[in-house]
Amino acid sequence: MIYVRNAWYVAAWTQDLEVEKPLAIDLLGEPVVIWRSQRGDIAALENRCVHRLAPLSLGRCEGDKLRCMYHGFLYSRDGHVSEIPGQDVIPASAKVKSYPVTEKHSWIWVWMGDPDKADEALIPPAVGFDDPNYILGRGHFDYAAEARLISDNLCDFSHLTYVHANSFGAGDDFAKTAPNIAALDRGVRFSRWITGTAGPAARSNDELIDAWSSYDYLIPGVLLMWSGSFKRGYAEECKYGPPQDLDDAIRGVTFTSQAVTPMTEKTSRYFFSWGPHVKHGDEALRDILMGVAGQAFAEDKTMIEAQQAILDKTETPRVLPSAHDRGVVMFNKLVERLAKEERSVDASAA
């Protein structure tokens, strides 16, 4: 698997990292333990005791430290062993890898690359539960599939017409037209107007509107999308560019943040939130949206895990990209370029 390492990966929902309950997750194939101290600090270490490789995630929090509960090695937040029961001297080699970790927009982010380059400005601007403008629900699914397959899926929404025929309910026309696609520094932007429509199936309306949606798919695999309904003709007013003002939306403004995290070569965790703008909905609408999302994301999972199973049976897999793969190809090339740059920096540093 080729992944960018100098990036922030979503490891958990903030809400799921409880105080003094260490959480284990594999990230890019590396076992990681994350914990939150009583004081509220979080830390992320290699989840593998230097002593005999027991997982520290079965450990006990003591102050801001974490004790391996096999034979009691005590770890500082920086990965150094600070106590070995029954032994006075602690060898310098008694340390595990420590990962930059931070909490933002309701997600726990772990930096998997060079710690010196861990820059919080690179955290994608997701919308978290701390944003007063949105009423969100959240969830996550574990995939028995490579993360790249999920990213591919998210960079080509023409699948909405087929995979989600029974949930999101995009019509045939949706798959026949392409969104606007634009390169970003660390991602790809997809946007489109659908003019004179009744709106999304689950929230359609007699009054025809111009529907806008736009999402950025960002390194390492974060989707941030907002959608809204505008009065008929508004798209033309904007010359089919982005809405001049979100406040012009007459209804249906929602935001969804999604993150695809590669755990191992063929397992991934997919995090998602969705909900209406406070001016355009309430908890009840949020619950309806989450119901639709739950069904739709289960449809994706069924398809992508089946795709992975076929891949596993295929000696030399080849794909035949279609016109809709433009965004997929752009994002994958970006990943490859950034990964390659990282490797050449590593090589020249060595």
Interface with a second copy (CB under 8 A): 26, 29, 31, 47-48, 50-55, 58, 60, 67-73, 84-87, 91, 93-94, 152, 156, 158-159, 161-163, 165, 172, 175-178, 264, 302-303, 306-307, 309-311, 313-314, 317, 319-324
The whole-angstrom distance between residue 273's C-alpha and the CA centroid of its chain comes to 10
Residues 108 and 14: beta-carbon distance below 8 Å: yes
Residues 34 and 22: beta-carbon distance below 8 Å: yes
Q: How far is the CB of 54 from a second copy (least distance, A)?
A: 5
**β-strand pairing of 180-184 with 30-36:** unpaired
Q: How far is the CB of 307 from a second copy (least distance, A)?
A: 5
Q: H helices of the chain, where?
A: 147-154, 172-176, 234-237, 283-312, 326-349
Q: How far is the CB of 268 from a second copy (least distance, A)?
A: 16
Residues 256 and 190: beta-carbon distance below 8 Å: no
**DSSP summary character for residue 202:** G
Residues 32 and 24: beta-carbon distance below 8 Å: yes
Q: How far is the CB of 116 from a second copy (least distance, A)?
A: 24
Instruction: Name the residue nearer to a second copy (CB basis): 5 or 186.
Output: 5
Instruction: Name the residue nearer to a second copy (CB basis): 19 or 309.
Output: 309
Instruction: Name the residue nearer to a second copy (CB basis): 244 or 302.
Output: 302
Instruction: Name the residue nearer to a second copy (CB basis): 23 or 253.
Output: 23
Q: How far is the CB of 166 from a second copy (least distance, A)?
A: 10
Token code pair at residue 74: 């005590």
Q: How far is the CB of 150 from a second copy (least distance, A)?
A: 12
Instruction: Name the residue nearer to a second copy (CB basis): 284 or 306.
Output: 306
Single-letter amino acid code for the residue at 248: D
Instruction: Name the residue nearer to a second copy (CB basis): 45 or 289.
Output: 45
Instruction: Name the residue nearer to a second copy (CB basis): 52 or 279.
Output: 52
> Residues of 203-218 as b/e, b for ≥16 C-beta within 10 angstroms?
beeeeebbbbbbbbbb
Rg (alpha carbons) of the chain, rounded to whole number = 22
Q: Is the dihedral of CA 116, 55, 145, 179 positive or negative?
A: negative
Q: What's the count of helices (H) and strands (E) in the chain, helices before strands?
A: 5, 18
Q: How far is the CB of 335 from a second copy (least distance, A)?
A: 17
Angle between helix axes 283-312 and 147-154 (nearest 10 degrees) is 120
